[in-house]
């Protein structure tokens, strides 16, 4: 960008290498975060940043970079600062209105896809869709299915719609709603969801990225299982015979979620572990 001598002397340019040093030494940012923010501001690739350490940021890019570095140093999640997070190898727009897609939630997609034939033409529901990452991924991986993605947050549905458009996903609909209320009688083949499952008094809510994420996406209140319980009670009326309900849950909640499913008449109850080895995904199906 061309800059006038006056503006560059009052706000001197910074080289790529100075910028990375400022972020990592000056603000204690992880090197990877510093580089991602620099790429984001300049539009340069990693290769360009490494190959041209002496290239300069203009004054505006410098201000934008310094502001993002300060926000990251104050704890804001890198995904919100970049406005994007990859999920199942696709980029998803994220804003503070939605939970940041996590690797363990890819396990929810894996568990769902393992139970849906490639040519599945059935109706599926994604509860608490947030960014839409689970519902949109299922819709794209099973293009003949029809996905209904539900969220209580108007803003989240806005983000999810944006993602569906950007990813050219046409076989998905979005509704604002309270879990499965009003969805009975749909005879769905599968319901998946990543509901809030952290107790309101859990210290984790005050740490790291979670401090900046929507509270309602993380905790249903004092009883960590209240959303899971409600979904398991509502699901049989919305599912077809043989239909699956598969939920993500907290790392110690596997046994109780299995018990709740069995108590609601689900069979073939299973749990899958996350990359850390914790039970994270539990599901079951209604009898045929
Ligand atoms: N897996 C998230 C976490 O523990 C929580 C997501 C959720 O509550 N559904 O950070």
Q: Which two tokens stand for residue 211?
A: 């401090």
pLDDT band at 10 (very low <50, low <70, confident <90, very high): low
How far apart, in whole angstroms, are the C-alpha atoms of residue 249 and residue 285? 17
Question: Residue 182: what pLDDT?
Answer: 84
Question: Residue 6: what pLDDT?
Answer: 45
Pocket test for ligand 1, best of 87, 98, 99, 224 (most atoms within 8 A of CB): 99
Mean pLDDT of 67-87: 98
Question: Residue 155: what pLDDT?
Answer: 98
Q: List the domain boundaries for the chain.
A: 14-74, 96-285
Does the beta carbon of 102 sit less than 6 angstroms from any atom of ligand 1? yes
Q: Which two tokens stand for residue 225?
A: 């299982």
CATH architecture of 96-285: 3-Layer(aba) Sandwich (3.40)
Q: Give distance in angstroms: CA of 17 to centre of ligand 1.
A: 36
Question: Residue 199: what pLDDT?
Answer: 97
Give the mean pLDDT of the chain.
Answer: 95
Atom of ligand 1 nearest to the CA of 102: 1
SS (H, E, C) 239-255: EEEEEEEEEECCCCCHH
Does the beta carbon of 72 sit less than 6 angstroms from any atom of ligand 1? no
How far apart, in whole angstroms, are the C-alpha atoms of residue 156 and residue 196? 14
Q: Is the pLDDT of residue 9 over 90?
A: no
> Which one, of 153, 101, 103, 233, lies nearest residue 245 by Cα?
233
Task: Give, using CA atoms, the residue closest to atom 5 of ligand 1.
Answer: 218
Segment 44-53, tens digit of pLDDT: 999 999 999 9
Q: Is the pLDDT of residue 105 over 60?
A: yes
Question: Residue 4: what pLDDT?
Answer: 47
Segment 224-265, tens digit of pLDDT: 999 999 999 999 999 999 999 999 999 999 999 999 999 999
Identify the residue with better confidence: 11 or 69: 69
Helices (H), the chain: 5-10, 16-21, 31-42, 46-51, 59-73, 78-82, 103-113, 133-141, 154-166, 215-218, 226-238, 254-263
Segment 147-157, tens digit of pLDDT: 999 999 999 99
% of the chain exceeding 70 in pLDDT: 96
Pocket test for ligand 1, best of 85, 248, 253 (most atoms within 8 A of CB): 248
């Amino acid at each position: 960008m061309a800059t006038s001598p006056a503006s560059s002397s009052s706000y001197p340019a910074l080289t790529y290498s100075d910028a990375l040093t400022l972020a990592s030494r000056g603000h204690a940012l992880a090197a990877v975060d510093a580089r991602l923010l620099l790429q984001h501001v300049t539009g340069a690739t990693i290769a360009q940043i490494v190959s041209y350490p002496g290239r300069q940021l203009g004054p505006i890019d410098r201000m934008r970079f310094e502001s993002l570095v300060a926000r990251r140093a104050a704890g804001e999640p890198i995904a919100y600062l970049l406005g994007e997070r990859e999920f199942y190898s696709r980029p998803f727009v994220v804003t503070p209105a939605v939970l940041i897609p996590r690797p363990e939630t890819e396990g929810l997609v894996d568990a769902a896809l393992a139970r849906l034939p490639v040519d599945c033409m059935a109706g599926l529901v994604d509860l608490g869709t947030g960014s839409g990452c689970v519902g949109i991924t299922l819709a794209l991986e099973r293009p003949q299915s029809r996905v209904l993605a539900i969220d209580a947050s108007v803003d989240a549905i806005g983000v999810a719609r944006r993602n569906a458009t950007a990813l050219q996903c046409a076989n998905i609909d979005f509704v604002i709603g309270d879990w499965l209320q009003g969805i009975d009688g749909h005879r769905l083949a599968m319901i998946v969801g990543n509901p809030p499952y952290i107790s309101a008094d859990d210290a984790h809510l005050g740490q790291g990225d979670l401090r900046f994420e929507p509270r309602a996406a993380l905790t249903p209140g004092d009883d960590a299982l209240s959303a899971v319980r409600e979904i398991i009670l509502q699901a049989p009326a919305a599912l077809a015979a043989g239909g699956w309900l598969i939920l993500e849950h907290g790392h110690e909640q596997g046994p109780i979620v299995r018990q709740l499913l069995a108590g609601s008449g689900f069979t073939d109850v299973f749990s899958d572990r996350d990359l850390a080895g914790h039970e994270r995904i539990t599901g079951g199906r209604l009898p045929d």
